[in-house]
């Protein structure tokens, strides 16, 4: 078959036949796929060709001929462009179905588990304004310090004032800081010249306690002249702020945070509760961004595990200790491991805050610590894992399987690496038993799930 020689700006009439996992509509013209923002399955569109590659291209909706019954109208397209809410144009009901289908498809494709009964996604009660954390880049637009979000796959700042899925008070703090920084002519970071002071504003607001932490990511710890006045104005206007810190990052890499923190106001941490337990959270430590849904997620993980008072539990990738501490009074011992030292000191502190004496935390890579612990005689009955997007390390899976623990409970924020790990865990003698997705990230493509693996 002759390939069409597509030209930029050409317009085609086409049906949207599918949705990618990141929310772009899929259109095929003579079998050649185009990815189109803001296009939903079952819509018929006039598509303008934006870019053509070897095996796929990108298009734009020029005009809708028909629209999906599941389309949410009136959503600001900047939320789609930036990925703040890349599923914001799809009804919440359909978002949940799509996420469930994604997990099923990955299990089929990667783990050859056709028809595995993945449970329906547990919905969020709060589908907007739920995030407890913002990390907002600061850049110059036409000579004006501006806060917003990068356009997807770029470092082009799109100004945003209402972040839609974030706690409104966080948005208010960002706007207040933006306006104050403009008044005193603070310079924003320029990636090309590497000049400028302010790179990012990070704000966390604890869901239950309402305590707030503000972190300014800057290129040096030299403060602007008016910093003291600004700090008083900020903390007076937002009395829930318990911590303001500088984070110094002069690197060119894509990591938001640098290594060094400096407390400007209050303490170096905030405190929140989850499932009735108290947690201190310091700036570099991970903390789930949707507290209400994370509490459901953890509860399901405990229910899967069927905790017993005699159980020795490993909490791998433990962060500030939320998962292990949440169950510590129902089991015999909890051993947690985590690479970020500040998170581990939070976890140790959190055990004391909750009057626990049966938890043990150590800094290190899970794949290095687990074999060491087993050699030292620890015999776990249960292994909880909650790895970052890249999933579990292969040696970790081998060693975890040698423990003969009765179950491995896997919390995953990436169903693709999860499906890969299902294959590896089953090879090592752990049978996938249950998969329960929980929607921690309404309006976005992100999928969280908890799975139970039983010793064969």
Catalytic residues: 413
Enclosing H/E stretch for 169: helix 168-183
Contact 418, 276 (CB under 8 A): no
CB of 78 to ligand SAH, least distance (A): 29
CB of 432 to ligand SAH, least distance (A): 21
341 part of the interface to ligand SAH, by CB under 6 A: no
Q: CA angle, 219 as apex, 218 and 224 as ends, to 5°?
A: 65
Binding test (CB under 6 A) with ligand SAH, winner from 102, 132, 322, 401: 322
286 part of the interface to ligand SAH, by CB under 6 A: yes
Binding test (CB under 6 A) with ligand SAH, winner from 223, 231, 275, 339: 339
**What crossing angle do the helices spanning 394-402 and 366-375 adopt, rounded to 10°?**
20
The DSSP symbol for 219 reads: S
Contact 384, 409 (CB under 8 A): yes
Contacts of 220 (CB under 8 A, 6+ apart): 197, 248, 250
If the CB atoms of residues 384 and 430 are measured against ligand SAH, the closer one turns out to be 384
Binding test (CB under 6 A) with ligand SAH, winner from 80, 107, 173, 337: 337
Our CA dihedral for 163, 165, 167, 173, rounded to 10 degrees, sits at -10
**137-153 per-residue burial string, b: 16 or more CB within 10 A, e: under 16:** bbbeeeeebbbbbbebe
Contact 68, 92 (CB under 8 A): no
Site pattern 212..251 for ligand SAH (x: CB under 6 A): ----------------------------------------
Looking only at residues 352 through 381 of this chain, which bind ligand SAH when binding is defined by CB under 6 A?
365-366
**394-422 per-residue burial string, b: 16 or more CB within 10 A, e: under 16:** eebbebbbebebebbbbbbbbbbbbbbbb
Which residues lie across from 190 on neighbouring strands? 195
The DSSP symbol for 328 reads: G
CB of 451 to ligand SAH, least distance (A): 15
Residue 104: which of 447, 453, 456, 455 has the closest Cα?
447
* Chain residue whose CB lies nearest ligand SAH: 319
343 part of the interface to ligand SAH, by CB under 6 A: yes
Question: Which listed range, 231-239, 248-256, 331-339, 375-383, lies at the site for ligand SAH (CB under 6 A)?
Answer: 331-339
CB count in 10 Å sphere of residue 456: 8
If the CB atoms of residues 132 and 188 are measured against ligand SAH, the closer one turns out to be 132
CB of 400 to ligand SAH, least distance (A): 12
318 part of the interface to ligand SAH, by CB under 6 A: yes
256 part of the interface to ligand SAH, by CB under 6 A: no
300 part of the interface to ligand SAH, by CB under 6 A: no
282 part of the interface to ligand SAH, by CB under 6 A: no
If the CB atoms of residues 136 and 411 are measured against ligand SAH, the closer one turns out to be 411
Binding test (CB under 6 A) with ligand SAH, winner from 159, 168, 341, 388: 388
Question: Which listed range, 39-47, 125-133, 225-233, 283-291, lies at the site for ligand SAH (CB under 6 A)?
Answer: 283-291
State the residue for tokens 């985590």: 338
275 part of the interface to ligand SAH, by CB under 6 A: no
338 part of the interface to ligand SAH, by CB under 6 A: yes
If the CB atoms of residues 54 and 390 are measured against ligand SAH, the closer one turns out to be 390
Applying CB under 6 A, what is the total number of residues that bind ligand SAH?
18
If the CB atoms of residues 82 and 444 are measured against ligand SAH, the closer one turns out to be 444
265 labelled ligand-binding: no
Residue 248: which of 180, 185, 170, 189 has the closest Cα?
189
Contacts of 344 (CB under 8 A, 6+ apart): 318, 336, 338, 361, 362, 363
338 labelled ligand-binding: yes
269 part of the interface to ligand SAH, by CB under 6 A: no
288 part of the interface to ligand SAH, by CB under 6 A: yes
272 part of the interface to ligand SAH, by CB under 6 A: no
Contact 158, 82 (CB under 8 A): yes
Rounded distance, CA 123 to CA 119, Å? Answer: 12
Contact 241, 212 (CB under 8 A): yes
Residues found near ligand SAH in the complex (CB under 6 A): 286-288, 317-319, 322-323, 337-340, 343, 365-366, 386-388
Q: Which residues are annotated as a binding site for S-adenosyl-L-methionine?
A: 288, 317, 338, 386
């Amino acid at each position: 078959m002759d390939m069409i020689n597509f030209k930029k700006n050409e317009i085609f009439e086409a049906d949207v036949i599918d949705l990618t996992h990141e929310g772009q509509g899929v259109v095929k013209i003579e079998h050649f796929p185009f990815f189109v923002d803001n296009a939903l399955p079952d819509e018929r569109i006039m598509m303008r060709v934006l870019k053509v590659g070897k095996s796929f291209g990108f298009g734009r909706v020029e005009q809708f001929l028909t629209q999906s019954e599941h389309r949410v109208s009136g959503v600001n397209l900047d939320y789609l462009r930036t990925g703040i809410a890349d599923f914001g144009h799809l009804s919440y009901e359909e978002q949940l179905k799509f996420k469930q289908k994604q997990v099923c498809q990955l299990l089929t494709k990667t783990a050859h588990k056709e028809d595995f009964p993945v449970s329906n996604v547990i919905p969020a009660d709060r589908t907007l304004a739920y995030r407890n954390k913002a990390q907002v880049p600061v850049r110059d637009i036409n000579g004006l310090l501006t806060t917003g979000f990068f356009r997807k796959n770029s470092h082009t700042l799109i100004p945003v004032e209402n972040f839609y899925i974030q706690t409104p008070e966080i948005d208010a703090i960002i706007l207040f800081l933006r306006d104050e920084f403009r008044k005193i002519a603070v310079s924003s970071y320029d990636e090309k010249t590497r000049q400028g002071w302010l790179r990012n504003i990070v704000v966390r607001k604890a869901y239950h306690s309402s305590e707030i932490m503000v972190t300014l990511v800057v290129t040096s710890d030299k403060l602007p002249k008016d910093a003291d006045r600004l700090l008083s104005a900020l903390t007076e206007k937002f009395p829930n702020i318990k911590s303001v810190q500088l984070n110094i990052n002069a690197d060119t890499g894509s990591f938001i945070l640098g290594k060094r923190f400096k407390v400007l106001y209050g303490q170096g941490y905030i405190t929140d509760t989850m499932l009735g337990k108290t947690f201190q959270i310091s700036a570099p430590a991970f903390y789930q961004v949707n507290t209400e849904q994370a509490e459901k997620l953890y509860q399901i993980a405990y229910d899967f595990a069927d905790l017993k008072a005699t159980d020795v539990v490993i909490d791998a990738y433990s962060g500030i200790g939320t998962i292990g501490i949440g169950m510590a009074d129902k089991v015999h011992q909890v051993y947690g491991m985590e690479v970020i030292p500040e998170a581990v000191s939070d976890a140790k502190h959190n055990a004391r805050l909750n009057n626990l004496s049966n938890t043990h935390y150590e800094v290190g890579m899970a794949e290095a610590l687990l074999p060491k612990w087993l050699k030292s005689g620890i015999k776990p009955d249960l292994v909880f894992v909650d790895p970052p997007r890249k999933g579990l390390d292969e040696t970790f899976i081998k060693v975890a399987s040698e423990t003969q623990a009765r179950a491995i409970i896997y919390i995953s924020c990436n169903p693709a690496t999860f499906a890969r790990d299902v294959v590896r865990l089953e090879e090592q003698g752990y049978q996938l038993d249950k998969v329960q997705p929980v929607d921690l990230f309404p309006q976005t493509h992100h999928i969280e799930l908890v799975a139970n693996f039983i010793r064969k």
